[in-house]
Amino acid sequence: MAQVVLENVYKSFPLSKGEGVASKNAHRTESVNVLRRISLTVNDGEFMVLVGPSGCGKTTLLRLIAGLEDITGGHIWVGNRLVNYLPPSRRNIAMVFQNYALYPHMSVYDNIAFGLRLQANRGEEEKLSGTQREKLLNKLSKITENLLVAATRKLPKGLHYISDKEQVVGEQVGNVAQLLQIEQLLNRYPKELSGGQRQRVALARAIARNPQVFLMDEPLSNLDAKLRMQTRAQIVKLQRQLGITTIYVTHDQTEAMTMGDRVAILDRGQIMQVAAPLEIYNRPENRFVAEFIGSPPMNFIDVKFQSPCLITKGDFRLTLPENWGSALRKYNGRTLILGVRPEHWNLSLPATKNLPAKVEWVENFGNDSYVAVKLIETSFQKDYLTTDSLQVRVPPEKLVNTGEKVWLSLNPDKIHFFDPETELTIFPKSNSPSLPFH
Ligand SMILES: Nc1ncnc2c1ncn2[C@@H]1O[C@H](COP(=O)(O)OP(=O)(O)OP(=O)(O)O)[C@@H](O)[C@H]1O
Ligand SMILES: [Mg+2]
């Protein structure tokens, strides 16, 4: 097992013709920076989830670690080996892709055995540093072995010739098949399997190689909701059991929150925050993270701040706990972004410390209801709707109707403030170390 260290990793791709901005230096090849300044340490045995919107660079980062893409700048260490210039086969990393990538013409057994046989052959080649005579003898014994295999293939199963190497491979395939409960599928071909079974075979193939590091790129996105949940739990259990350092890419909220020891959030090729899931949820470092993690997302409202501890919006006036004053002092008289998660509103009574709103629509899920509202402001004693649209979670037993006026109260212990210019969190700050953010 090994830790994976990424240090100032950059990746740029050359732009294809016509994609770049016309410039005087037309002879220069233009490129697009897909990853910038990625520094991340994944500890030995850790399950790190990498999450971010489509196109932010997740797959590219995994491919760089696996050695399937050349690095533009920076360093990648696996264990204490700098792997920047090592070919994929020398990195001892297994990658599981979204589309499983099984060999269609091979049985499940052979799909799993494939990497093991390659590994064994490579091991033998490395050992072959002997004399010309020794090399020749080895070749001869290989030919004899192949002839024996071919000659006994048509005989009943018990009489097949099995080489020592194949015996070891067979044991490893058997063990991993048992672990993933696919023993009964070993003789089938990929086209004879369901999506979930193919996924398990792909996992088995990766595990069988006993890699130092697992890279998984959205491995569950082709599965239905139930199977996804089951396989999610199975992957986490397996990872704990095997203790293999894992980097798991997803853009699924639930996977990000439930699977990882830590979560790294990526946006446009940069890391926004790395922390334990609940730390990210409770103390996002910036507005992007606050909005990206949580479903429905956090609501944002522009409010005015007045020292020592008052926030206002129209007729709304709320006094914050005193200890907030010092963090917010420099914003006196300025606008702040107030962030409130849907579950941190309460439907309440008319009062200036509550926000008036009109219910736009109601979604009832049985265990929960989500209500979309628009804030109301009063001017010249006339109510009008603002453009602020919010999501509010209400208990399902609370009956709310479309068009109804409601008053929203909030718990000051649960709110967030962001700087309107930098969008960085002002309060409450994360305990996880800040990362470069430009
Ligand atoms: N070979 C390539 N040449 C040029 N640009 C590329 C290449 N591969 C990826 N990109 C670009 O790099 C960016 C990141 O792509 P990547 O596939 O890493 O995103 P992703 O985060 O995995 O997205 P998704 O969630 O949709 O899979 C995208 O803008 C993509 O267009
Ligand atoms: Mg991708």
CATH, residue 327:
2.40.50.140
Of 222, 208, 218, 276, the closest CA to residue 47 belongs to 276
Question: Would residue 360 count as lying in a domain?
Answer: yes
CA 246 to ligand 2 centroid distance, Å: 16
Ligand nearest to the CA of 19: 1
Question: Which stretches in the chain have pLDDT values below 70?
Answer: 17-29, 122-130, 380, 432-438
Give how many domains the chain has, as a whole number: 1
Whether 46 is in a domain gets the answer: no
Q: In the prediction, which pLDDT does 124 show?
A: 61
pLDDT at 362: 95
User: Using a 6 Å CB cutoff, which residues line ligand 1?
Assistant: 13, 34, 52, 54-60, 251
pLDDT of residue 69: 95
CA nearest ligand 1 atom 3, residue:
13
| Integer CA distances (angstroms), 326 to 86, 320, 332, 425, in order | 52, 11, 11, 14
Residue 179, SS3? helix
The Cα 92–Cα 90 span in angstroms is 6
**Residue 245 belongs to some domain of the structure:** no
Q: What is the pLDDT of residue 434?
A: 45
* Per-residue model confidence (pLDDT) at position 286: 96
* Integer CA distances (angstroms), 77 to 57, 64, 66, 420, in order: 19, 11, 11, 38
In this structure, is residue 234 part of a structural domain? no
Residues with CB under 5 A from ligand 2 (ion): 59
Q: Which atom of ligand 1 is nearest to the CA of 266?
A: 21
Strands annotated E in 195-334: 213-217, 245-250, 262-267, 270-275, 299-306, 310-313, 316-319
Distance between Cα 58 and ligand 2 center (Å):
6
| Protein residue whose Cα sits closest to atom 7 of ligand 1 | 13
> Using N-to-C axis directions, what is the helix angle for 195-208 and 225-242, rounded to 10°?
10
Residue 49 lies in a domain: no
> Are the CB atoms for 288 and 52 separated by under 8 Å?
no
Give the range of the structural domain holding residue 353, as residue numbers without chain letter: 297-427
Please tell me the predicted confidence (pLDDT) of residue 353: 94
Residue 307 lies in a domain: yes
Minimum-distance ligand 1 atom for the alpha carbon of 269: 14
Distance 362 CA to ligand 2 centre (A): 34
User: In this structure, what DSSP letter does residue 309 have?
Assistant: T
For ligand 1, atom 18: residue with the closest CA: 57
| Beta pairing partners, 394 | 369
Two tokens, residue 225: 């909701």
Closest ligand 1 atom to 57 CA? 18
Predicted model pTM:
0.86
Residue whose pair of structure tokens reads 């209801």 in the numeric block: 369
DSSP state of 418: E
Note whether residue 329 is domain-resident: yes
Is 266 within the bounds of a domain?
A: no
Q: How do residues 11-22 score in pLDDT, each as one tens digit?
A: 999 987 666 555
Distance 295 CA to ligand 1 centre (A): 25
Please tell me the residue having the least CA distance from ligand 1 atom 25. 54
What's the pLDDT score for residue 125?
60
